[in-house]
């Protein structure tokens, strides 16, 4: 009540304007009146706090609502707050004289308040970290299972296409090769050219200290053909084409087009996934070759302009430093990395739920997982080729 007197002194709404209370024995009688709306939010909030009973002070609380003129969602929430506050202090609360026109909103707020989840308990930081790791490991296991399942489905679809070539969508394959291959050539050439130029510039800058400028040709040739060329191309393809695959399939999943294909008796993997993956397997090796050539051209140009190594000397040294084995190593990796990118992108696309947020999350996840698995696969190939001295 002291808070109400303070409001009166300030010239604002008083307890008799909106909420008044009177204690009779173990019963607290509250009388609400006026407009319980968001316009009076500040005053109502302070009054509800001030009139809350103390622990064990009363056993019953009656809230008389007959004089309430207006009530909105905020006012109904404050009424619910009065009831819950009294209940928590061990008192039995009830509403008296609630106008019929306010019954629906009060009942709705009460039901929703009952459905609120309990406040989370404080958890030990170490246990929380272990639980997070466990949940992440479960998600990793699910992702691996989905990728394996998709690989099996794609393999079966490929076998069916080989046995019945007329059922395969050749037009879709050509279209996808155009999208992920031919149209990606300009950006791939630009990026790989710059990477080759940067490698040559940094190599010359450091080798020059030892008078070994010419060895930059060895570094550029071997790195580009074995590692950098295929990795840069696959990272670009994962960001460009992999994300597009996920977005396309995810949008179709949201519009229930994939469900419609299944109802029509068509296999979505054969219709949508297989042409895209084969297009990547065909396009990525070609892009890798073009990207490697562009990177070595960029390296040769910088070697000439920055290091004073003439094109004739660069080519001569390049022939001495590299062999066809280096070229084979890079090209062998390309189709396997393309397969990984395509499968991951399609898996994530088919996991999209019916919201734009889910589509964005799955698209991001597809790119991140594809790049990660490409790096892992590159490490596996590196160990394999080292084991066979290639």
Identify the CA nearest to 338 among candidates 228, 268, 237.
237
State the pLDDT at residue 17.
62
CB neighbourhood size of 124 (10 A): 9
Q: Is the pLDDT of residue 11 over 50?
A: no
Q: Is the pLDDT of residue 263 over 60?
A: yes
pLDDT in tens, 51-75: 777 766 777 888 888 888 888 888 8
DSSP notation for 300-323: HHHHHHTT---HHHHHHHHHHH--
Please give the class, per CATH, of domain 2-114: alpha beta
State the pLDDT at residue 67.
84
- Better-scored residue on pLDDT, 54 or 275: 275
pLDDT tier for residue 15 given thresholds of 50, 70 and 90: very low
Q: Is the pLDDT of residue 32 over 90?
A: no
Q: Is the pLDDT of residue 307 over 60?
A: yes
Give the strands of the sheet with 19-24, arranged side by side: 19-24, 27-36, 60-71, 92-96
Identify the CA nearest to 348 among candidates 240, 236, 244.
244
Check if the beta carbon of residue 196 is closer than 8 Å to that of residue 299: yes
Q: Which residue has the tokens 């009065």?
A: 82
Helix (H) or strand (E) holding 358: helix 356-387
Helices (H), the chain: 2-9, 15-18, 41-50, 73-88, 103-114, 125-163, 170-180, 185-207, 215-223, 229-237, 243-254, 257-263, 268, 274-305, 311-321, 324-350, 356-387
Cα atoms in the 13 Å half-sphere on the side-chain side of 388: 8
**Both tokens assigned to 324:** 């066809």
Show me where the domains of the chain are located: 2-114, 139-387
State the pLDDT at residue 2.
40
Work out whether the CA dihedral 257, 263, 269, 272 comes out positive or negative. Answer: negative
DSSP notation for 218-230: HHHHHHIIIIIHH
Q: Is the pLDDT of residue 117 over 60?
A: no
Q: Which residues on neighbouring strands pair with residue 138, listed in sequence order?
A: none
User: What is the pTM assigned to this prediction?
Assistant: 0.69
Q: Which residue has the tokens 């919201």?
A: 355
Check if the beta carbon of residue 51 is closer than 8 Å to that of residue 21: yes
Kind of pairing between the strands at 27-36 and 19-24:
antiparallel
Identify the CA nearest to 299 among candidates 199, 231, 185, 214.
199
Q: Is the pLDDT of residue 112 over 50?
A: yes
pLDDT tier for residue 109 given thresholds of 50, 70 and 90: confident
Q: Is the pLDDT of residue 118 over 60?
A: no
State how far the alpha carbon of 121 is from the alpha carbons of 51, 87, 89, 131, in Å. Answer: 29, 21, 21, 14
pLDDT tier for residue 279 given thresholds of 50, 70 and 90: very high
Q: Is the pLDDT of residue 26 over 80?
A: no
Q: Which residue has the tokens 């070994």?
A: 212
Collapsed DSSP state (helix, strand, coil) of residue 97: coil
């Amino acid at each position: 009540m002291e808070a109400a007197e303070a409001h009166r002194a300030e010239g604002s709404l008083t307890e008799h304007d909106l909420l008044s209370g009177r204690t009779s024995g173990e019963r607290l009688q509250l009388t609400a009146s006026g407009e319980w709306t968001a316009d009076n939010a500040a005053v109502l909030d302070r009054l509800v706090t001030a009139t809350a009973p103390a622990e064990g002070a009363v056993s019953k609380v009656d809230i008389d609502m007959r004089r309430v003129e207006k009530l909105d969602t905020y006012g109904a929430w404050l009424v619910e707050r009065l009831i819950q506050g009294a209940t928590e202090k061990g008192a039995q609360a009830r509403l008296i004289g609630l106008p019929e026109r306010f019954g629906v909103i009060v009942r709705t707020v009460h039901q929703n308040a009952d459905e609120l989840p309990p406040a989370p308990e404080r958890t030990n930081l170490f246990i929380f970290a272990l639980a997070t790791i466990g949940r992440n490991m479960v998600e990793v296991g699910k992702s691996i299972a989905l990728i394996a399942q998709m690989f099996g489905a794609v393999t079966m679809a490929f076998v069916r296409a080989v046995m019945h070539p007329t059922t395969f969508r050749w037009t879709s394959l050509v279209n996808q090769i155009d999208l992920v291959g031919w149209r990606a050539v300009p950006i791939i050439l630009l990026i790989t050219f710059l990477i080759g130029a940067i490698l040559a510039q940094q190599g010359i800058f450091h080798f020059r200290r030892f008078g070994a400028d010419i060895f930059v040709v060895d570094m550029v040739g071997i790195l580009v053909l074995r590692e950098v060329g295929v990795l840069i191309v696959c990272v670009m393809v994962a960001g460009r084409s992999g994300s597009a695959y996920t977005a396309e399939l995810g949008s179709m999943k949201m519009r229930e087009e994939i469900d419609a294909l299944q109802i029509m008796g068509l296999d979505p993997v054969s219709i949508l996934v297989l042409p895209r993956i084969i297009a990547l397997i065909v396009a990525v090796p070609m892009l890798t070759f073009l990207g490697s050539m562009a990177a070595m051209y960029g390296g040769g140009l910088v070697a000439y302009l920055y290091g004073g190594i003439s094109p004739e000397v660069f080519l001569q040294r390049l022939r001495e430093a590299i062999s066809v084995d280096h070229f084979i190593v890079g090209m062998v990796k390309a189709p396997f990395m393309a397969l990984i990118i395509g499968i991951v992108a399609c898996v994530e696309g088919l996991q999209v739920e019916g919201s734009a947020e889910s589509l964005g999350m799955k698209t991001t996840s597809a790119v991140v997982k594809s790049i990660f698995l490409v790096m892992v696969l590159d490490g596996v190939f590196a160990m394999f080729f080292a084991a066979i001295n290639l």
